Amino acid sequence: MYLAKRCFWKVLSCPISKMILFVSFMPVFLLGCSMARMAVRPQLISAATEMKVEGRKSFRFDKPFSFGPYQVTEVNREWTRSTGFSAEFPSLEKHKKTFSSSKATQEYEFMLKDGKGDEWKCQNLTTCGQGFVDVSTGAKKKMGMGISSRSFASTFKAKNRSEVWHLTMDDKQDSSFAMKGVLSDGDTSILVQGTRKLAGSPLPLTDHSGFEFLVDGNVVASVEVINKGAVWILPSIEERLHSPLAVTSVALLLYQNIGRK
């Protein structure tokens, strides 16, 4: 997801009420004049090196890219597959009620070279489900109730390693509809949670600005998924976890919200 830069220049000759409104929203306007960034925990910024993503394009999700020592290749994304149905059911009122449901899935895979001789293959599945009930009482009173959910699953391993890593996430556990889940190889478990926070702004995004990785409640890595993207991995964590965190970061950088309209 790329966020456009916005600047506001003309302030002169404004009515007093508009001037007050402008001043009230000045912090938001100033943020809009620079590239929006994910809000990263201060302790991670101070201890980890920011690895900026190079070569990532919003309109071409099948191109190779890199960050730090990590090289992403062989990105292959399948077409989004959708199914759905709708049905009418009787009502005590004149107008029948309509229920509709839809589901969309998308698969993609990629390879990651970690600069240490290991090559990781990662397979991913995104799922989005939506349901809607039309409870309108007439042509002039259109009303409806809807519910949506999304989930994400990722599986990966290195060619010369025995352990297999799995990540499962959904947005059912979080009131802000940010996705949350667990990354694990059976021995180690890492909490992965989405965030909609932006650096320097109290206003959240409508979708993820990035994801955080936590071990025992402490943030050990983060991935920014807006604009060009960036990755932070705490150097003090176990060396064997660096590449799995990098692979998962790539999976989330390539993730698309297929349910968004």
SS3 131: strand
* pLDDT tens per residue across span 73-104: 999 999 988 887 677 666 555 556 676 777 88
CB neighbour list of residue 236: distance below 8 Å, 6 or more residues apart = 47
Residue-averaged pLDDT of the chain: 82
Confidence at residue 177, expressed as pLDDT on a 0 to 100 scale? 74
Check if the beta carbon of residue 72 is closer than 8 Å to that of residue 60.
Answer: no
pLDDT band at 245 (very low <50, low <70, confident <90, very high): very high
* pLDDT tens per residue across span 123-162: 999 998 876 676 666 555 555 555 668 899 999 999 989 9
Check if the beta carbon of residue 111 is closer than 8 Å to that of residue 120.
Answer: yes
Confidence at residue 16, expressed as pLDDT on a 0 to 100 scale? 40
What is the mean predicted confidence (pLDDT) over 233-243? 96
Q: Is the pLDDT of residue 206 over 70?
A: yes
What's the longest Cα–Cα distance across the chain?
69
The full length of the chain comes to 261
Q: Is the pLDDT of residue 46 over 50?
A: yes
- ∠ Cα 225 229 235 (to 5°): 100
* pLDDT tens per residue across span 100-122: 777 889 999 999 999 999 999 99
Q: Specify the pTM.
A: 0.79
Check if the beta carbon of residue 165 is closer than 8 Å to that of residue 244.
Answer: yes
In angstroms, the CA 172 to CA 22 distance is 37
Confidence at residue 102, expressed as pLDDT on a 0 to 100 scale? 79
DSSP label at 138?
A: B
Kindly give the pairing relationship between strand 218-224 and strand 51-52.
Answer: unpaired
Comparing 83 with 241, the larger pLDDT belongs to 241
Check if the beta carbon of residue 163 is closer than 8 Å to that of residue 185.
Answer: yes
In angstroms, the CA 125 to CA 171 distance is 15
SS3 117: coil
Q: Is the pLDDT of residue 166 over 60?
A: yes
Residue 6: C-alpha distances to residues 12, 28, 38, 86, 246 (Å): 19, 10, 17, 41, 32
Determine what percent of the chain is predicted with pLDDT higher than 70.
71
